[in-house]
Amino acid sequence: MKYTNFVIPVILLTFPTIAQKIPLGTWKNYTCMKDVRSITTTTNALYAATTGGMFVYDFSTSAIQKFTNTDGLASNNLQTIYYDSLGSLWLGATNGAISVYTTTTQQWKSILDIKHIEPTRWQQRTIRGFVRRDSLLFIAADFGVTVFRLPKWEFGDTYTDFGFPSSPTITTCAIHRNTLWVGTTGGIAYAPLSATNLISPSAWVRPSFSGLSNLSITSIVAFHDTVLISTPSGIAVFHNGMFHALTHFSGISVQQLLVNSDILYILQRTGSATKVFKLKWIFDTPELIAETPHLGTSLMVTRNRLFIGTSSGILQRLETGEWINLFPNGPASNAFTSLVVDNNGVLWAASRSTYGAGFYRFNPDLPDSIQWKNFTSEHYPLLRRNNALFDDYYTISLGSNNTVWVSSWGNGVIEVRSDTLVRRLDYFSKPSLLGAVNQTPPSYVVTGGVAVDSYGKTWIANRVEWSNRSLLRLDTDTSATYFDHEISMGYVQALFHGLWIDQYNTKWLANSVPTDMKQTGLFFLNEEKKISGTTPTGWGRLTTANGLPSDVILCVTGDLDGAIWIGTSAGAVILYNPLTPSRLSIPYLLKGRVIQCIAVDGVNHKWIGTKEGLLVTNPDGTELLAQYSTATTNGVLPTDDVRALAIDSKRGIVYIGTEEGLTSLSIPAIAPLDEYTSLRFSPQPFIPAVHTRLVISNLVTNTTIKIFTSSGILVKKFEAQGGGRAFWDGTNEFGNTVPSGVYLVVAYSPNANPTVGKVAVLR
């Protein structure tokens, strides 16, 4: 295949084609850059290509700088990096995107031709390596080797058929003595660059091998004018038209060969450990110069310093023989399945339910080098299960007094206060949580969401497959009240994950997560029996028979007007009056979509995460204000599969969590008032028989509301629900509707002087 006359533009961010009806802000990516796949050096710095972007280690200052696709990269998930000695770094990504960074001007360009190739032509298009020869750059990708003409900045020929009986994946390429060598998963091929037609398989020679059991080529180098290759079963030298295995490395998995100052360096992997050898001559006995228990991926030697890229950062060996680990401060992984912003604007995130990496917190007020803190069982024994490493923490919730609760898939729930792990609640704790499966003892505890009711009590959802004991309320630090659901399910199990408590203290329970969808419907509990048609203890359930578009419930949350928003696998549902849950409203714009998470901003806009990207609607979901996807953000959103959302309305930040990284978007800040102005009431007058709630607005953070009669008798006291608003249902402390009259509403907070307003109630 031949490409000609391609003009490669500098990529600028573009956004949705629909008219944006909310102000656009700045995008930013937060990624884990510990998983290093390739490294290279210039005179001044070390550069690392990682699964989360590129970072640079400055030799003179020891400073580390990060680059993601919000800084100019075409893609964060990088596979290889190459310095062309002309001042440019070439970075290849797993999706075929190529980024070019000019070190002198610090400018970026993107080449997206390979990324945008029709998928039916070549589905796999990871960039595996680069090599420059004069004005030509040879680019090795999964499907072949393509030529890029540097002066014209355009593609030339692409070589895909090297004469192999099958079609192996390309792994690397090299040039020696005007000959192009191409390594594949099925052997090696070479051809002189002077050949008239390298597109033809007849132009290529496929040498035979002796003494190697695995022909998947990991690297190709020229050492003392001789071609050497490495494989998972050893090293071979090219002699008399064929490759012969070096006996010193027989059966050894070699990841990389590197030649520096006439010395050959060998990166060997054994299990998860790594060794580095060196040779002065091909047939010398190898000298072991370094070993580490980390999994090595790449090797570089410069300024008499040895650097090893690993899945845990870059290891630098000091002259003393000690190792230091280099990587930017960041999250422990790129998995973000649950997010919450606490009252101080600190973001908390959980990783995932299987193969997790614990949980993390991000404090934007701290210096860049310490903004992220990772909580993993390697460093925090409380997170371990049966004294073994355990990091499958998948749901995170905000509790009372700014506590954070982190739920696991098998190890109970962790309470965190002020960056400190306080305790774990599980089967063996007091109070005790039941295990998800019936075993002896039932200690495999899977908890879901945690929420706080208007009385300040903490509730915990508990996934239990064999018992109805799926919800509990903490009464003290060591005691709880258990609420067994009373819904006749037959063969269907109630598996609770998401939890939201509304202004009437109804507990709304979602049953599914994106990785484990169950068709059980939406459960709810109001033990004060404010909702008719429930069981004697206040349980109820909604299904497709009641009008839900799906029985797979993925999320549930409340908005600033007190309405309940429910995300299902086939659209969203709104309960405008939570006391009559049978009255459902289904926004047309969201029909048929997999709604995985919903967040509400300071002006009651809905941010909705789906498998097809991020949607923003007006308060009632009837108008689409914005739409973001990987395509419309040029890859800034790393995947369209949005798993979690959290909003910092004070700073004006929307955090978007995926299993491939975290992205944020700045929005207009809706900061809480610092002082009360005049209270606003809607509707006025308030008619409890007609209106479901009185909305009290213009509140400051942490407001408490007291309702008094005109003669000064206390009627009711409760905490404001947030968002600068509070809701009163017109009842007193005993749940009885108050008589007609004028009532005094007192709002007070530790942060502001109290204020008083009047509201008329008519019956």
- pLDDT tens digits, residue range 412-438? 999 999 999 999 999 999 999 999 988
SS3 content of the chain, % helix, strand, coil (to 5): 5, 45, 50
pLDDT at 371 over 50: yes
In 3D space, the residue among 50, 676, 662, 683 whose CA is nearest the CA of residue 359 turns out to be: 662
pLDDT tens-digit readout, 670-690: 655 556 668 888 888 888 877
Cis amide prior to 685 (ω within 30 degrees): yes
Please give the domain boundaries of the chain with CATH numbers for all domains.
Answer: 680-761 (2.60.40.1930)
Of 392-396, 561-565, 712-716, highest mean pLDDT: 392-396
In the predicted model, what is the mean pLDDT of the chain? Answer: 90
Taking residues 143-168, what's their average pLDDT? 95
pTM across the whole model: 0.83
Structure confidence at residue 36 as a pLDDT band (50, 70, 90): very high
Question: Rounded to whole angstroms, what are the CA distances from 277 to 218, 257, 284, 342, 650?
Answer: 16, 10, 11, 50, 55
Answer for the pair 186, 215: CB distance below 8 angstroms, yes or no: yes
DSSP state string for 492-509: -------EEE-TT--EEE
With beta carbons less than 8 A apart as the criterion, state whether 217 and 227 touch: no
What's the pLDDT tens digit per position in 199-213? 999 999 999 999 999
pLDDT value at position 19? Answer: 43
CB atoms within 10 A of CB 398: 17
Nearest CA among 324, 313, 213, 305 for reference residue 265: 305
CA separation for the pair 119, 117 (Å, rounded): 6
Nearest-angstrom CA–CA distance, 407 and 396: 6
From the centroid of its chain, how far is CA 45?
29
Residue 125 and residue 8: Cα distance in Å, rounded? Answer: 18
Identify the pLDDT of residue 683: 85
Q: How far apart are the first and last CA of the chain?
A: 80
Amino acid at residue number 178: N
User: Is 32 buried (19+), middle (13-18) or exposed (0-12) by CB count in 10 A?
Assistant: buried
Q: Across residues 591-596, what is the average pLDDT?
A: 96
Could you tell me which residues come within 8 angstroms of residue 165 by beta carbon, excluding any fewer than 6 positions away? none
Backbone angles phi, psi at 590, to 5 degrees: -105, 5
Assign 710 a pLDDT band (cuts: 50, 70, 90).
Answer: confident
**Helix/strand/coil (H, E, C) string of 86-125?**
CCEEEEEECCCCEEEEECCCCEEEEECCCCCCCCCCCCCC
The residue behind tokens 């993925």 is 554
CA-CA distances (angstroms) from residue 469 to 349, 390, 432, 435, 447? Answer: 27, 25, 11, 10, 12
User: With 50 as the cut, is the pLDDT of residue 592 above it?
Assistant: yes
Residues 6+ apart with CB under 8 A from 487: 494, 523, 535, 539, 540, 541
How would residue 7 be classed by pLDDT, with cut points 50, 70 and 90? very low
Task: Indicate whether 384 pLDDT > 90.
Answer: yes
pLDDT band at 2 (very low <50, low <70, confident <90, very high): very low
**Are 402 and 338 a contacting pair, CB within 8 Å?**
no
* Amino acid 15: pLDDT: 37
User: Looking at the predicted structure, is the pLDDT value of residue 8 above 70?
Assistant: no
pLDDT in tens, 476-498: 999 999 999 888 665 557 789 99
- From residue 252, give the alpha-carbon distance in Å to each of 116, 182, 279, 281: 38, 22, 16, 19
- Print burial letters for 315-337: b (CB count within 10 Å at least 16), e (below 16): bbbeeeeeeeebbbbbbbbbbbb
| 577 burial type by CB count under 10 A (0-12 exposed, 13-18 middle, 19+ buried) | middle
Give residue 132's identity as a one-letter amino acid code: R
DSSP 736: P
Over residues 502-530, the mean pLDDT reads: 92
Q: Which residues pair with 154 in a beta bridge?
A: 149
Peptide bond into 286 cis (omega under 30): no
- pLDDT, mean of residues 275-280: 94
Percent of the residues in the chain that have a pLDDT greater than 90, as a whole number: 73
pLDDT higher than 60, residue 726: yes
**Which SS3 state, helix, strand or coil, does residue 554 take?**
strand
Q: Using the 8-state DSSP alphabet, how is residue 330 labeled?
A: -
Q: pLDDT tens for residues 561-572?
A: 889 999 999 999
pLDDT for 301-359, tens place per residue? Answer: 987 889 999 999 999 988 777 889 999 999 999 999 999 999 899 999 999 999 999 99
The closest of 624, 745, 738 to 679, measured between CA atoms, is 745
CB 264 within 8 A of CB 258: yes
Question: How many angstroms separate the CA atoms of 193 and 134, rounded?
Answer: 12
Over residues 189-202, the pLDDT tens digits come to: 999 999 989 999 99
User: Averaged over 104-108, what is the pLDDT?
Assistant: 93
Contact indicator for 662, 336 with CB cutoff of 8 Å: yes
Say what the pLDDT of residue 4 is: 34
Instruction: Report which secondary-structure segment, H or E, holds 595.
Output: strand 595-600
CA dist., res. 237 & res. 248, Å (int): 12
Task: Read off the pLDDT of each residue in 289-300 and give the average, rounded to a whole number.
Answer: 92
CB-based burial label for 46 (10 Å; 0-12, 13-18, 19+): buried
Phi, psi at 218, each rounded to 5°: -100, -25
